[in-house]
Amino acid sequence: MYDEDYKKRYVFGADYGTSEFKYGPITQGERPLTVESRGYFPERSVISQIMGVDREVVVGKDVTLFLESGAELATRLVYPMREGIIMKDDARAWKVVRELTRYALEEFKPKGWGFNGFYVVAALSAVAPRYMYEKFFEIFESMAKEAGLVRSATIIPQPLAVAIAHKKTSCVVVESGHGNTQFAPISRAPIRGAVIALNRGGSDANAIMAEILKDAGYGDLAAEETLVRKVKENLGLLPADLDSAISFAKNNPEAVRAVYAVPGTRLKIDLAENSWARFLVGEYVFNPNHEIFQSYFKRGMPRPRDTKVGDVVFYGMLDMAEAITTAVEKCPVELQPLLYSQILLSGGNFSWNVPERLKGICVDSATKIKRMMSGKGIENVNVIMASEPQYSVWRGCIVYGYAVPASYSWSWEKMEGWMNF
- For the segment 33-57, the average pLDDT, to the nearest whole number, is 71
C-alpha closest to that of 33 among 7, 12, 62: 12
Residue 69: pLDDT over 70: no
Residue 324 counted as domain residue: no
C-alpha closest to that of 264 among 220, 235, 218, 230: 230
Q: Are 133 and 29 in a shared domain?
A: yes
Q: Are 151 and 235 in a shared domain?
A: no
Query: What digits encode the pLDDT tens for the residues 279-316?
Result: 999 999 999 999 999 999 998 898 888 887 667 788 88
Residue 116 counted as domain residue: yes
Residue 46: pLDDT over 70: no
Q: Where are the alpha helices (DSSP H) in 253-391?
A: 253-256, 278-286, 294-298, 320-328, 336-340, 365-375
Q: Is 307 exposed, middle or buried (0-12, 13-18, 19+ CB in 10 A)?
A: middle
Query: What digits encode the pLDDT tens for the residues 269-278?
Result: 999 999 999 9
Q: Are 12 and 153 in a shared domain?
A: yes
Q: Where are the alpha helices (DSSP H) in 304-390?
A: 320-328, 336-340, 365-375
Q: How many domains does the chain have?
A: 2
Residue 48: pLDDT over 70: no
What Cα–Cα distance (Å) separates residue 297 from each residue in 23, 242, 280, 302?
37, 18, 13, 6
Classified as helix, coil or strand, 187 is strand
Residue 126: pLDDT over 90: no
What Cα–Cα distance (Å) separates residue 84 from each residue in 171, 252, 268, 286?
22, 40, 33, 19
Q: Which domain holds residue 266?
A: 202-303
- Give me the pLDDT at residue 15, please: 95
Average pLDDT, the chain: 89
Q: Are 397 and 260 in a shared domain?
A: no
From 268, 303, 338, the end of a domain falls on 303
Q: Are 279 and 147 in a shared domain?
A: no
Residue 333 counted as domain residue: no
Residue 45: pLDDT over 70: no
**Band of the pLDDT at 178, cuts 50, 70, 90?**
confident
Residue 187: pLDDT over 70: yes
Residue 121: pLDDT over 70: yes
- Apex 284 CA angle, 281 and 287, nearest 5: 145
What's CA 68's distance to the chain center, in Å? 26
DSSP, residue by residue, 10-53: SEEEEEE-SSEEEEEEGGGTT--EEEES-EE-PPP-HHHHHTT-
From 281, 303, 325, the end of a domain falls on 303
Rounded CA-CA distance 229/227 in Å is 5
Q: Are 141 and 10 in a shared domain?
A: yes
Rounded CA-CA distance 280/207 in Å is 11
- 38-47, 102-111, 405-414: least confident range: 38-47
From 273, 303, 333, the end of a domain falls on 303
pTM, 2 dp = 0.82
Q: Are 284 and 210 in a shared domain?
A: yes
Q: Are 250 and 107 in a shared domain?
A: no
Q: What percent of the chain has pLDDT over 70?
A: 94
Q: Are 11 and 137 in a shared domain?
A: yes
- For the segment 347-354, the average pLDDT, to the nearest whole number, is 88
Task: Supply the CATH number for residue 212's domain.
Answer: 3.30.420.570
